[in-house]
Structures are given as C-alpha cells and as structure tokens.
Structure 1
C-alpha cells in the first residue's frame, strides 16, 4: 500500500512540475546593480496567472563584529494561490507580505550595498521594491543599507509571473552575502 501511495504521489508531482515547466515567459526584466557573487537558481514561474504580492527573507542586523547578509530570499504570491521562490539563502526570517491593491507586479528596483573589499562585511542585495499596474509602489521590509538602483523596464502588456535569484552559498568562516541579484519574468 505504501509503495502504491508513493508511486501515485510521484506521478502527481511529475504531472504538476511538468505543467509548471511548460509555461513560457514573454520577456525578462532585470537591473544592472546586482551583486557579483553566487550562482543563479532555477527559474520559477507561477503555474498560471501573475504575481500579485511578495515577501522577503531578511537577516536582522547582527552587530558590528558579526557577518550580515541582509536579503536572503524572495517569495512571489501568484494569483492562483501558489507561492514561488527561486534559490534562497539560509539566514533570516520571512517578512510581512505585501500585495498590490490593484493589478499585479510589473517592475522592480533593487537596493544594493556596494562591495567594500575583503576586510569589510559585504552584503550585496539588501531590499526590493515593486510597482503595481495601478502605479502603487510596494517597499520591501528590509534594511536601508546601500543604494536603490534604477528601476527595471516594465512588463509590457503583461505582468511579472516568475523569478530567478542569484545567491551565494554559505562561505563557512568567510564573508557571506546571500542574495546578490534577481531577474523577474513577464508572461502574457
């Protein structure tokens, strides 16, 4: 019986993963100020619909003698009730969710703390802000370190439906930066 349930669960999971992977995005939006470290995680897309909100995984300030990473992950809330995330760092907690009062997410800007050299605590990406189709700006609940870069292009005649994050893995005794960069995908 347990084997039959396991096989059925595997078939259902492969069905759903295939359905998600079969969706195509129309365009990708990105910014130029992302950090240099880490590897890109998987592209994750809403199975259908668009992203209407988000939450951030943020490490609290660790103190002057400790290693801060700031932004570690991003959740997107899809219109079909699914929550998606790409590669995520191990530190921090998920913040309060924010949602567009009208429409969906269509563009973003990334707050990045510049590289300070090997003898300093580097953080890379610190916060993300989004604009909604109705013009509302949603500010991520994170630190104010660093500088907001320029806004990405807007999703044209569509909205954000997925993401891909670039995250540095745990460096052990080295300086950790966690989430360095992000790309979002627009579906028609």
Structure 2
C-alpha cells in the first residue's frame, strides 16, 4: 500500500530535513567551592549562539526558625533568544535578567555557604556572578550567605554556551539546600 505523497513528504521533512546535530561544547568551567549535596541535572546548551544574560531563582529569607535554601536555579539567556536552565529547586522566585553590556560570558564564580553541621540550617549556594567579554562583572541579587570562591577558568576559545546544576531534591523532613554547585560549558 503506497502512502499519499503529502504524508510521505511530511514524514521525510519532519524526520530528517529539519533535524540538527546536537551541539558540542569545547571545555567545562568548574569552581572548587560547590556544596556537597544533591545530584547533577542535565547539561543544557544554547542551540546556537552563546550566553550573554542570566537570571536566578532565590528563596527569600525564611526567618530564624524556618528552613532557608537561598539559590534554587540559574537561567541563561542565549544570544539567539533561547532561555535554558538545568535542574532547579522548587522554592523562590526568578529575578529579572541581567545582560552583558557587550559580548558574552567567559567565566563564573559561585557564592557558597559551607555545611553548617547537624543542628544549623544549611543553604549551600546563595549567588552566582559572571565575567563578560571585555571584563564587566554581573552579580545576581541574592543573599550574602557564604563566600565567593575563586573564579572559574575562562573560556579559552569561544564563550559560555550552556550549564549544568547540582541540586538537592526536597527532603520532606530535614534540612533543604536546593542548588549546591554549577558547571558551565564553552562553545566555539
């Protein structure tokens, strides 16, 4: 039984002609001060272009008797209009996006609070900052818990084009931390 030409054309076009190969990244940028809790989410890459803006998802301070998580997610705004994010915690609200005045992201730093022990509230990562091509630094608007560690290496060739985040899932009973660590990827 032969398929009608219109169906055959649709199958060929949707299957093969519109498909692009997955994007490859060149290097991985890491920091040494990431938190110990959670699991890594999926690697998410800008389908094309690079990251030149970001937003963060932050839980407001909950008060002394309640559980704080601080940073819950990071979004990257790609030069071609796409918005990408990896694993994200359930608490907090998204900030307004911040963009490089010119150029794209080339390195990052993470503010992380060290584990507080069994009787105090752990928050892990509380903020992120990026260096733009040309040297401008963009820092998220978040808590000042913990300290910024050393900057990651810089993209040698190309710019940041993707991310992967390490997030602790909701604990139910116990101390939640949400986002603990992040990696960023450089593409040519």
TM-score normalised by length of structure 2: 0.90
2: CA distance, partners of 1:160 / 1:85: 13
Task: Structure 2: give runs of 5+ residues left out of the alignment.
Answer: 1-9
Q: What whole-Å deviation, never above 9, does each CA across 1:68-101 have from its counterpart, x for those lacking one?
A: 0000000000011000000000000001210000
After superposition, residues 23-34 of structure 1 pair within 5 angstroms as: 23-34=23-34
TM superposition shift of 1:156? 1.0
Equivalent in the alignment of 1:5:
none
Is the Cα contact below 8 Å between 1:96 and 1:141 reproduced in 2?
A: no
Which ranges of 4 or more aligned residues in structure 1 deviate by more than 4 Å? none
Equivalent in the alignment of 1:132:
132
2: CA distance, partners of 1:157 / 1:28: 12
1: CA distance, partners of 2:162 / 2:52: 11
2: CA distance, partners of 1:186 / 1:49: 11
Equivalent in the alignment of 1:67:
67
After superposition, residues 3-152 of structure 1 pair within 5 angstroms as: 19=20, 22-152=22-152
**Total equivalences in the alignment:** 177
Q: What whole-Å deviation, never above 9, does each CA across 1:76-130 have from its counterpart, x for those lacking one?
A: 0001100000000000000121000010011000000111101110000000010
Larger radius of gyration: 2
Give 1 or 2: higher helix fraction: 1
Is the Cα contact below 8 Å between 1:161 and 1:185 reproduced in 2?
A: yes
Q: What whole-Å deviation, never above 9, does each CA across 1:112-167 have from its counterpart, x for those lacking one?
A: 01111011100000000100001100011110111110000000121000000000
2: CA distance, partners of 1:142 / 1:105: 20
TM-score normalised by length of structure 1: 0.90
Is the Cα contact below 8 Å between 2:165 and 2:183 reproduced in 1?
A: yes
